[in-house]
Amino acid sequence: MKRIKDIRPLKWTGKSLLLLDQRKLPLKEEWIECTTYECVAKAIEDMVVRGAPAIGVVAAYGVVLGAKELTGEAKNYVEFKAKLEVIVNRLAATRPTAVNLFWALRRMKKIINAGSDISDIVQALETEAISIERQDVETNRKIGYFGAELLSSREVILTHCNTGALATAGYGTALGVVRAAVELGKEITVFVDETRPYLQGARLTAWELQQEGIPYYLITDSMAGWFMSLGEITCVIVGADRVARNGDTANKIGTYTLSVLAKEHGIPFYVAAPTSTFDLSIDSGVEIPIEERNPDEVLYCHCRDCRIAPYGAKVKNPAFDVTPHENITGIITEKGVIVSPNEETIVEFFEKE
């Protein structure tokens, strides 16, 4: 079996959280050290760390740092709990779309509510954050395994945004499927689209694939349809930020367009996501909050030193779109693949658990 490099975007030291600054990649590998929950919250807002599973893991460590900051400051459990709730709310307000953030914070809140001794709670929170991180890597390996089984011995996979080790605690979701297929000896080529405006494809996915020697072509977003029409792409695999009860899936802006193009060209379109990305409390994608980001991301090149539009240009910059479930061939999770996702298949899948 081919060995794949173990890229990690975060490291918990016991006292601080080290984050690989993804804004600097691929040109520089710099780490930021967070010792406070506010540092973690800002790191999520400012895209030091991004990707649905990664922000969940990092927010969990943010709660641990916040709880440690309160030790000694809070006079009793009631005060500690009230102050920690404010911290949890601050972390929850960093980004609205990826449900993994709220899922991880819910797990941390359960620990806070179950305890009464402050130092025991702090210890239990740390244990929980570490287990969220470890479980994420295990989950991604299982997603990779189930996804790789769907692929033939030779595939040309188009992927969007960055769903790799950098977007998770390690290994990745959609890119985890690529990794697993390569580990199994399949002949995989990846088409990486740039993913305007934030360029997660060009900067991050290309960087990860390069580190591992997995063959890829970088293309601009607008080239995808053309390569599909030429028969050069055999399959599309993307990640997800939130999957509604009926299978509608929010993911990086541009995913919806790719799903329409894949349908038009009869190419399988897979979503790879952990079950923690499902939000069964909402009926459809209409209810998913879509983050609107700073217009400067569209008005300037990523490195911010050159403006590419006239002054006064009005901008819309939704960070995500919703792919209707009808366009999705299957959702690859750590518990198996949901083929032709819809409310019935999804509810049945979760009832089996």
d(CA 263, CA 269): 8
82: left (phi over 0), alpha (psi -120 to 50) or beta: alpha
53 near ligand MRU, judged by CB under 6 A: yes
* Cβ proximity to ligand MRU, 223 vs 290, nearer residue: 290
d(CA 288, CA 243): 9
Give the residue, chosen from 98, 181, 214, 271, that forms a contact with ligand MRU under the rule CB under 6 A.
Answer: 98
Q: Which amino acid is at 307?
A: R
Other beta carbons within 10 Å of 293: 17
259 near ligand MRU, judged by CB under 6 A: no
Shortest Cβ 70–ligand MRU spacing (Å): 28
Residues 316-335: x/- map of binding to ligand MRU (CB under 6 A)?
Answer: ---x----------------
Residues 197-216: x/- map of binding to ligand MRU (CB under 6 A)?
Answer: ---x----------------
**Residue for token pair 């001794």:** 117
The answer to whether 95 is a known ligand-binding residue is yes
Q: 241, 248, 279, 321: which one is catalytic?
A: 241
Other beta carbons within 10 Å of 33: 12
* Cβ proximity to ligand MRU, 59 vs 84, nearer residue: 59
Q: Confirm if 72 and 111 have CB atoms less than 8 A apart.
A: no
Those residues with Cβ within 8 angstroms of residue 263's Cβ, 6 or more apart along the chain or in another chain: 269, 327
Smallest Cα–Cα separation from 125: which of 33, 57, 63, 81?
A: 63
Give the residue, chosen from 4, 50, 108, 182, that forms a contact with ligand MRU under the rule CB under 6 A.
Answer: 50
d(CA 324, CA 180): 27
In the residue annotation, 241 being an active-site residue is answered as yes
* Cβ proximity to ligand MRU, 58 vs 267, nearer residue: 58
The answer to whether 203 is a known ligand-binding residue is no
- Catalytic residue IDs: 241
Contacts with ligand MRU, residue ranges (CB under 6 A): 50-53, 98, 161, 163, 167-168, 173, 200, 239-241, 251-252, 319
